[in-house]
Amino acid sequence: MPAKTASFDPRNYSVVYEEMIESKESRECFRKYLTNTSLSDETILFLDELEYYKKEYDKSIAEIMEILKLENDTLNNSDSTSSITEFSRPTTFKKKSQLKKVTKQLRRITDKSNSIFNIYIKPSSEKELNIGHIQRELLGKHEKIQEKFENFTKLISEKETLGKSASSVSINDTESSNSSQEGSLDSNESNLYPLCSEIIELLDYQKLFNEVELTVHMDLKMDQFPRFVRSQFLLNFLKEKGENFTRTIAIDSSKGVNVDLRFKPNDLMDKTVSDNHIYFGFTLAEDTPDWKLIQDKKLYQSYCSKTPYVFSSSRLKGMQLFKSVMYLPYSFDDVWAMWVHGDNHIKFDPQAHTDYQLHKYVPPCEEGLKENSVDKPMYALQLLTSGLDYKLPFVKKRYFCMTGTTIKDPFNDMYMYVMHTGDFSQDELPRQENGIDAFALSYYIFYKMYDNMTRLVHVMYGDANFKYNSNLILEMFWKKRTKDIYTKMDKLMNELTEGGTKKLQLSDSVDDQCYDKAWRDNQKLYPNRSWYLEWSKSNREKRKSTVFKKE
């Protein structure tokens, strides 16, 4: 029985997803939680199978290296030190047994990859993952592996049928032509080595499964993990395991948590959008120890930050961040087509869009990569004014002068609309004078989950310049806002799609606020750029510097 400290309270600890998922015991606890709460556990089981595949792949590659007597310096793979992607010098199968052993190892890892595809990837498979467009890409890779391996075994079969049994078979055309003692090779035999190398490269888990692995982790972290870390199920598990174990997967948050804001003091006063604004959106979208759950419904949740943040000490008081996570049972493309049409915003969010007006649109330009000004921005700019009626007694409407942009990340089927207040004059962005200027940072992030489910994450930081700040009032306001937006958006989507039977056409939407135009213009300047992968890589590097005390 693990030793327990009398004062140990697991509620003082915040579990870190990356540490939890790497621990065999806590990972199994997570899987049991998913099963017990009627949530799907195929994602955890897939990760278990993938870990096994990685070990078996590395083992098979080590065997092949030994068989071919290759040194480590013959490997050329920047992504994985464990796989062979290119043989950089002439290599021969000196005995028939070598070819036979290599074939056995290739068949071994090919069969294991087939097992993963048959259970988790193929349509209508036993535990099919909801991975969107990645599924089609993976199936294409799988088909190519099957084709190459069949060709490889076919060439071997033809060789055996022809009865060619030279004492030393060269697998390199150059060596074959220069070495008379090896004898000349027929075309079938000379193709064996390139095929072997290509199959090994195609089976490399970094290239074959890396994208789906990242997607699965993202879905687990954003959907099931937030409920798991707040569950009595996990609390009981940590009480049983004790403080020493808890410290290996969690951090002590009883004295506060440091959150990487990625912001400079003047970021809410800037008139443009930078990489930091986009990266911060990903940070806020995921569940961190600083988020307190204040409303938990089946298809939407509300959160507020435990810590008040100050982005500009000269003009802003410390305020909480607020977040809504909503699950809309409609396709990703339909939800986006609805969002693009400006008039729809008044229907699902009249509170913030009654006085919403786009004053100017500025396309991005290459000069903006160095200058990043309103005239020459690095991202397309949507310059706008907006009003927000808090509907509180004796509280005037607040007005926001904002700059924003929209991106589409090619990696994870995601749109992000980010906007923040800027230090604009009345001449630059006119607004009504009977209200009060306020300051804010806001995100709307759309994720494609699967065919008929879209996740919407809405985050807001705001200083409405109240004479007093009441966290209780603001939490009540945010819970109501989350419920209202979800209810009205769901109703609107149901009407537009005629109960989910009609496909919305983006061409029918009037993009008067330039949401769609902005991401397309940004994509032209940054083709194939994934801000999510950049942010994810930066986070991994930061985690490497975090020390967890192991038992």
Segment 394-407, tens digit of pLDDT: 666 777 889 999 99
The reply to whether 510 falls in a domain is yes
More confident residue, 519 or 421: 519
% helix / strand / coil in the chain, to the nearest 5? 45, 15, 35
Together in a domain, 75 and 180? yes
Report the largest interatomic distance among the alpha carbons of the chain, rounded to a whole angstrom.
98
Note whether 386 and 508 are same-domain residues.
yes
Q: How far is CA 429 from CA 365, 368, 422, 438, in A?
A: 22, 21, 10, 14
- Distance between CA atoms of 507 and 115, rounded to whole angstroms? 42
Residue 417 lies in a domain: yes
**29 lies in some domain:** no
Residue 23 lies in a domain: no
Residue entry with tokens 């020459």: 376
Which two tokens mark 303? Answer: 């959160």
Place of tokens 């010098």: 89
Neighbour-count burial of 544, counting CB atoms closer than 10 A to its CB (0-12 exposed, 13-18 middle, 19+ buried): exposed
Instruction: Say if residue 69 is in the same domain as residue 186.
Output: yes
Domain that holds residue 527: 275-541
Residue 148 CA, distance from chain mean position = 31
Residue 477 has pLDDT above 50, yes or no: yes
One-letter amino acid at 479 equals K
Residue 98, H or E segment: helix 96-116
Mean pLDDT for 3-10 is 69
Residue 551 — pLDDT band, cuts 50, 70, 90?
Answer: very low
296 and 406 co-located in one domain: yes
Are 204 and 332 members of one domain?
no
- Would you tell me how many other CB atoms lie within 10 Å of the CB of residue 184? 12
- State which of 215, 239, 255 marks the end of a domain: 215
53: pLDDT strictly greater than 60: yes
Residue 388 confidence (pLDDT) above 50: yes
> What is the rounded CA–CA span in Å between residue 397 and residue 476?
18
> What was the pLDDT predicted at 31?
93
- Examine the pLDDT at 432 and tell me if it is beyond 80: no
Is residue 156, in this structure, part of any structural domain at all?
A: yes
Regarding whether 205 and 353 lie in a shared domain, the answer is: no
Alpha helix stretches (DSSP H) within 163-255: 173-178, 187-190, 192-203, 205-208, 210-219, 225-228, 232-241, 243-249
> Residue 131 falls within a domain, yes or no?
yes
Decide if pLDDT at 430 tops 90: no
Number of domains observed in the structure of the chain: 2
In this predicted structure, what is the pLDDT of residue 80?
A: 47
Percent of the chain with pLDDT over 70: 77
Same-domain check for residues 441 and 513: yes
Find, among 92, 100, 102, 108, the residue nearest to 160 by Cα. Answer: 100
Compute the distance between CA of residue 158 and CA of residue 138 in angstroms, rounded to an integer: 30
Q: What would the two tokens of residue 436 be?
A: 């009060």
For 57, residues 6+ apart whose C-beta sits below 8 A from its C-beta are 82, 83, 109, 112, 203, 204, 205
Does residue 222 fall inside a structural domain? no
3-state DSSP call for residue 41? Answer: coil
Sign of CA dihedral 522, 528, 532, 534: negative
Same domain, 203 and 279: no
Examine the pLDDT at 62 and tell me if it is beyond 80. yes
Q: Are 208 and 329 found together in one domain? A: no
Which pLDDT score, from 0 to 100, does residue 431 have?
A: 72
% of the chain surpassing 90 pLDDT: 48
Q: Is 50 exceeded by the pLDDT of residue 170?
A: no
Residues 340 and 206 both lie in one domain: no
SS3 14: strand
Q: Which long-range contacts (CB under 8 A, 24 or more apart) does 146-151 make?
A: 146/114, 148/195, 148/198, 148/199, 148/202, 149/106, 149/107, 149/110, 149/199, 151/195
Nearest to 203 by CA among 78, 116, 263: 116
Residue 169 shares a structural domain with residue 292: no
Residue indicated by tokens 């909480």:
320
**Statement: residue 81 has pLDDT above 50:** no
Q: What is the mean pLDDT of residues 361-387?
A: 92
Give the CATH number for residue 444: 3.30.530.20
- Same domain flag for 310 and 443: yes
End residue of a domain, out of 170, 193, 215: 215
Q: Distance between CA 346 and CA 319 in Å, rounded?
A: 27
pLDDT above 80 (res 536): yes
Q: What is the pTM of this model?
A: 0.77
Residue 143 to residue 475: CA distance in whole angstroms: 52
What would the mean pLDDT of 225-244 be, rounded to a whole number? 93
Q: Which neighbouring-strand residues pair with 277?
A: none
Compute the radius of gyration of the chain from its Cα atoms: 28
Tokens 């988020």 belong to residue: 291
168-182, 209-223, 267-281: least confidently modelled range: 168-182
Task: Determine the pLDDT at residue 468.
Answer: 55
Last residue of a domain, one of 192, 215, 238: 215
In the predicted model, what is the mean pLDDT of the chain? 81
Tokens of 82: 């464990």
β-bridge mates for residue 386, sequence order: 400
Task: For residue 231, tell me if it sits in a domain.
Answer: no
